[in-house]
Structure 1
């Protein structure tokens, strides 16, 4: 079993990166956006790396920049999943989420945003 956060790409209609992350969260999991809030307006992680070619999808080898955002909720319910993108979704307590996707989740929630 492989567990990863949902994701996507920035669209021309997205005004900010966190807005793009929120849109993707809603599209892929069916969560009502009014029931969630971003843990920070800054990414909780930034990763850059080589993505192997995927001939079945017509994608050559390329580099990819991932910006991860964390969202919190009190009553957000998972809605209708975009099954072509997501096979399952759920909210987990921080300790469980950390076991599933790694320590970057804890850093997202426990580290205060940087002052400008």
Structure 2
């Protein structure tokens, strides 16, 4: 469930219109985005302070390259990334649901 975008949030990141805010943390903000074809994505936009750091950029480029190689039903597929410009990455994780058996297994492991 996303929250409405804030006034300072961008209207668009890459090909994605920002439809809401999914969360924020030390690295940046994750938005709910929608492209021109209606495909939804989780769009992670890195904070400017990190994006301006050359060492961070090196690590971020490496992270994006690795994320593009990882595949599987439990992995977010990278739809778009900008490691050179705004420092953002978009994945298809917005609409995925946990496998019911895995969700129950995780809840039992957590003592719920």
**TM (normalized to structure 1)?**
0.26
Q: Which gives a bigger RCO, structure 1 or 2 (Cα 8 Å, sep 6+)?
A: 1
More strand by share: 2
